[in-house]
């Protein structure tokens, strides 16, 4: 699968501010960058730093009055689809060190609040079978509503039963952690997202590897290009402003070209 990605960020700033961007697709074994360009209009130097878990990179920029960033890339996805329901569970005591933090509650993924729900609603399920059931439950029971962002995290989404992609990802991650499956949030580019935008999905540790799952049902694991990973939206935001900003224009386009 070959994806063509174009993104534009245009923001106005009432006062100078530092800005942390995470918009570049990550170079990884299952996604190869064939071309990539990030152009930031700024009078100040920019600086790249490694992303969470060493995946992708963040870029520091200094904004005065206006910041315009243009990103373009061609990414080849080389990821074989996997039948999640067939993957066996991994006992928590046997997990690798890097997966253990993703079992724990975080700011927007209050996994400890879902233990009873997961145990009683999905009795007897574990591993890939539980992951498949949880993803299906979120997709069926949480409406995609672009007008709503539940800032309270997974618990708020569970109560509201609607939200945007990050809300779906937060809820699936929290439910998976409650079911003893390490789970993390992933920012990604995906074709077919409606409306087109930066996308958020989940990644679950199953049978010795991280497996991408889109609880909105809009993206498929074999055509997602990861940008960043982390505990929740705090770690994967496409732009973090240390100050205030006003959006002038924002555009994301992702197309399959081969």
Structural domains in the chain, sorted by start: 2-78+238-256 (2.60.40.2250), 84-235 (3.10.620.30)
- Asked whether the predicted pLDDT for residue 117 surpasses 70, the reply is yes
The upper half-sphere exposure of residue 30, i.e. CA atoms within 13 Å in the direction of its Cβ, equals 15
Contact in structure between 60 and 102 (CB atoms under 8 Å): no
Does 190 have pLDDT greater than 70? Answer: yes
Mean pLDDT (whole number) for 193-207: 94
pLDDT for res 258 = 80
pLDDT the model gives residue 150: 63
Q: What are phi and psi of 40, to 5 degrees?
A: -120, 120
Give the whole-angstrom CA distance, residue 109 versus residue 251. 28
What pLDDT sits at residue 146?
Answer: 80
The model carries a pTM of 0.95
Which pLDDT score, from 0 to 100, does residue 152 have? 81
Note the pLDDT of residue 42: 86
Q: Using CA atoms, how far apart are residues 39 and 22, in angstroms rounded to an integer? A: 13
Could you read off the pLDDT of 126-170 as tens digits, one per residue?
999 999 999 999 999 999 988 776 678 999 999 999 999 999 999
The conformation of residue 89, written as its DSSP 8-state character, comes to P
Using DSSP's 3-state secondary structure scheme, residue 183 falls into strand
Residue closest to 114 by CA, chosen among 168, 174, 157: 174
Tell me the pLDDT tens digit for each residue of 44-91.
Answer: 999 999 999 999 999 999 999 999 999 999 999 999 889 999 999 999
Q: What is the mean pLDDT of residues 251-257?
A: 96
The pLDDT of 114-130, averaged and rounded, is: 98
CA atoms within 13 A on the CB side of 132: 13
Segment 6-13 mean pLDDT = 98
Q: Per-residue confidence at 100, pLDDT binned at 50, 70, 90?
A: very high
From CA 37, how far away is CA 74, in angstroms rounded? 10
What is the SS3 assignment for 106?
strand
Torsion of CA 29, 35, 41, 47, to 10 degrees: 30
The per-residue pLDDT for 148 is 72
The gap between the terminal CA atoms of the chain, to the nearest Å, is 6
- Output the pLDDT for position 5: 98
The mean predicted confidence, pLDDT, of the chain is 95
Query: What pLDDT is stored for residue 186 in this prediction?
Result: 98
């Amino acid at each position: 699968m070959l994806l063509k990605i174009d993104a534009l960020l245009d923001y106005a700033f009432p006062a100078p501010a530092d800005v942390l961007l995470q918009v570049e697709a990550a170079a990884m074994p299952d996604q190869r960058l064939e071309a990539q360009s990030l152009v930031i209009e700024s009078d100040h130097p920019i600086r790249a730093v490694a992303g969470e878990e060493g995946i992708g990179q963040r870029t520091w920029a200094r904004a005065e009055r206006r910041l315009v960033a243009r990103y373009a890339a061609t990414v080849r996805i080389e990821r074989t689809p996997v039948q999640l329901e067939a993957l066996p569970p991994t006992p928590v005591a046997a997990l690798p060190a890097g997966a253990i933090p993703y079992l724990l509650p975080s700011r927007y993924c209050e996994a400890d609040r879902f233990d009873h729900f997961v145990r009683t609603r999905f009795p007897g399920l574990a591993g890939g079978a539980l992951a498949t059931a949880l993803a299906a439950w979120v997709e069926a029971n949480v409406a995609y509503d672009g007008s709503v962002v539940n800032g309270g995290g997974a618990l708020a989404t569970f109560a509201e039963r609607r939200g945007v992609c990050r809300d779906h990802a937060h809820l699936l991650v929290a439910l998976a952690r409650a079911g003893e499956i390490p789970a993390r949030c992933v920012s990604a580019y995906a074709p077919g997202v409606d409306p087109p935008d930066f996308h958020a999905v989940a990644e679950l540790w199953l049978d010795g590897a991280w497996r991408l799952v889109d609880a909105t049902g809009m993206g498929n694991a074999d055509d997602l290009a990861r940008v960043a990973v982390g505990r929740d939206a705090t770690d994967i935001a496409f732009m973090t402003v240390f100050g205030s900003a006003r959006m002038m224009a924002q555009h994301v386009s992702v197309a399959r070209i081969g």
